[in-house]
Chain A
Amino acid sequence: MSAETEPVKAIVTPTRLEYEFTAAGTHADFLARIAEGKLLGSRCSECGMVYVPARGSCPRCGVAIEERCDVSDKGTVTTYCVVRVPSENIDLKLPYVCAHILLDGANIPFFALIQECEAEDVRIGMRVEAVWAPKEEWGATFENIRYFRPSGEKDVPVEQLGDWV
């Protein structure tokens, strides 16, 4: 049967939401800082935890956070996911790896893409570094960091990753 005579079995319903997001407060501070090639965190005055991206309050202590601090663009993989399924709008060679990276100086992992290594070589404790876009392309956006890649440093032993694994 042709498409014109076959019974209808499915319908396609498009869903679309357009919106404007305005960053303010700590979000804006983070974006302003990443435009300068730095990753801004915030340190809780009660427990000392450093959150990145910077946030305005501590979810553990429930207090406002005033102190800002830059954290490193190098870190350690705490967990990761190997993506083997293509997506229409993601133009990456499969399989690729998304990881939680505990940046040096931070106490909460940062979500990022890992490239420049085989998916099967990624492991918990692996040391990675940010690969930045050319400076002339920088804006107030996460896209300044293209991805993370292995830094070649020695792995961090899993037991040193504490609560993050």
Chain B
Amino acid sequence: MSDSSGGASFTASHVLEYDYRRSVGPVLGRFFTALREKRLVGIRAADGRVLVPPAEADPNTGAALDEFVDVGPGGSVASWAWVHQPRPVHPLDRPFAYALVRLDGADTGLLHLVDAGEEARMSTGMRVTPRWRAERSGAIGDIECFVPEDAK
């Protein structure tokens, strides 16, 4: 740091941080409560599709939905992106994939991570299964990540 002006520059580190508390409502509340019990639930839409995570309203008609459906726990990877160099804010400290996981019995993709070790083990359509945390609080992080089914 210079103490005279005229082209001096100053750099400081800043941290902007806060916890955001969000009410989840009865439908997502049921999804999160099920996660705490190591279960995955979706909801049936008017056209018969099963949405995961469950939505309060039908995406096409806006009608309230209430038919919960158990899904998973296994599923297949619908699409994915490999994170070569995880940053400190990432949920894993080693390379991993962000993936849309189509759980068995579901018609939509759930965004989560796949801990596959290396990119070469990733493929669209691969089978994955959740790795549950021992301590669960009713949050999406109760699933630490998904892992390839053959690595179970």
Contact = CB atoms under 8 A, between A and B. Distances in A.
A131 interface: no
Interface in B99-125: none
Contact of B14 (A20, A36, A139): A20
B11 A20 contact: yes
- Interface size class of chain B, counting residues whose CB lies under 8 Å from the partner chain: 20 to 34
The secondary structure that dominates the B interface is: mixed
Interface residues of A, number: 30
A23 B13 CA distance: 11
Contacts of A22: 9-11
Interface string A1-31: 0001001111111111111111110011101
Interface string B14-31: 111111111110100110
Contacts, number: 98
A27 B15 CA distance: 20
Given A7-B30, A10-B24, A11-B138, A28 B10 contact: yes
Contact of A32 (B4, B24, B32): B4
B151 interface: no
16 contacts: A8-B29, A11-B22, A12-B19, A14-B19, A15-B17, A16-B89, A17-B15, A17-B16, A18-B14, A22-B10, A22-B11, A28-B8, A28-B9, A32-B10, A139-B1, A140-B3
Interface of A: 4, 7-24, 27-29, 31-33, 35-36, 139-141
